[in-house]
A = this chain, B = another copy of it.
């Protein structure tokens, strides 16, 4: 927590308006360090719906199992998040700790334990002393208020170097609704899922199954399209809570995912997810570069995505970029390694805006010095072809099928 802020950190924090039906509070429970704010409570008004996606690890943390078992009911009244201890690989003790935490929160919030959702981040394998929450839970429930997003984001930081927040508004019918999100990342950030912890809140009245569908389609090109170290956490959790409070201001209640009134909300929701996911990548442990990989002309979008991931996760591609070495042969290697249909003799590769290979051979105009200059940038300014984000590595696989794109920001760490 003492490390310098990532050079890729955003230069300013977003404005985070209050969201009706959502109140926040933080406290120092002494989970790992005394006097360090390490627990966050989100209080959700009755009727709040919830959806979530979780790590695909076969060794998930106890809180992940707790949430997964309860998310289908679709109702939430509270979220408790702690840092300092992941409550992962803690066996029976881990389950006892989640139960105790939920009981304490349910008592303070006056709801059922099954309406309490949990997340923990920090050390793996260390027993979590959930009894420590007893001393702070009532106070958290009493002091919770509509502001405090920054404090909430900070309470769940571990090796993060900056708090991650994003906000957007949308129209639902004729009513303005708000979407706020907070996240923490740092290590073990790999699809799928691709975050440690992220929570999104809205006042839009959206039924739980619709929320789940929006989330599932929303993560594909956001949280599941970033990678830092290629490893997958035991604790990855992304949940979205909809208080529905905007219904009191006339927002329509959305019960079908095909409802055309969702259009603006869906776009704003994905924007918040994309914003948070990129912040997670920007704060990868030791990250010094942010790279976007673009694969075009693959046989399908999933195929393009697998090729992009093969490039983004290749240790040799990462070390080449970290070393600012224009070794495009490693991109060829990574394309070949992906196992996807790839016509080598029609492959072209760009670094930044510079084409280094064309139709399966080194570009005749290849100039190593020119390419090296692009590699030196930590955030490339080159933005060819109207790509929205800075990128350094571009791989276009040109087969004359339809042009299917897959964008992927990735990071790497200098170990």
Contact = CB atoms under 8 A, between A and B. Distances in A.
Interface of A: 55-60, 88-93, 123-127, 187-188, 190, 229-234, 314-316, 318-319, 322-323, 328-330, 332-342, 344-345, 347, 357, 359-362, 413-415
A234 B362 CA distance: 15
A329 B57 CA distance: 13
A341 B58 contact: yes
A60 B343 CA distance: 10
13 contacts: A88-B329, A89-B344, A89-B360, A89-B362, A90-B361, A92-B361, A123-B329, A125-B328, A125-B332, A127-B362, A230-B315, A232-B337, A234-B332
A229 B59 contact: no
B333 A231 contact: yes
A187 B89 contact: no
A75 to B, nearest CB: 28
Given A58-B336, A58-B339, A231-B315, 4 more contacts: A58-B338, A89-B347, A92-B345, A229-B315
Task: Kindly list the 5 A-B residue pairs having the minimum CB-CB distance in the complex, ordered from nearest.
Answer: A124-B329, A59-B336, A57-B336, A91-B361, A319-B415
B231 A329 contact: no
A361 B329 contact: no
A334 B231 contact: yes
Nearest to A62: B344
Q: Assembly of this chain: how many copies?
A: 2
A326 B334 CA distance: 31
Contacts of A233: 333
A47 to B, nearest CB: 35
Given A234-B332, A319-B415, A344 B123 contact: no
A108 B413 CA distance: 51
A331 B7 CA distance: 30
B316 A357 contact: no
| Residue among A56, A359, A362 with the highest chain B CB neighbour number at 10 A | A362
A188 B333 contact: yes
A160 to B, nearest CB: 17
Contact of A229 (B58, B125, B316): B316
Contacts of A123: 329
A248 B316 CA distance: 49
Contacts of A229: 315-316
A58 B344 contact: yes
Nearest to A338: B58
A127 B363 CA distance: 11
| Residue among A55, A233, A337 with the highest chain B CB neighbour number at 10 A | A337
A322 B413 CA distance: 14
Given A91-B359, A188-B316, A360-B91, A59 B332 contact: yes
A124 B57 contact: no
A93 B361 contact: yes
Nearest to A65: B344
Contacts of A341: 58
A332 to B, nearest CB: 5
A361 B124 CA distance: 10
Contact of A59 (B90, B126, B319, B342): B342
Contacts of A55: 336
Contacts of A190: 337
Given A187-B316, A230-B315, A58 B89 contact: no
A345 B60 contact: no
Contact of A335 (B59, B319, B340): B59
A332 B124 contact: yes
B415 A336 contact: no
Contacts of A315: 229-231, 315, 413, 415
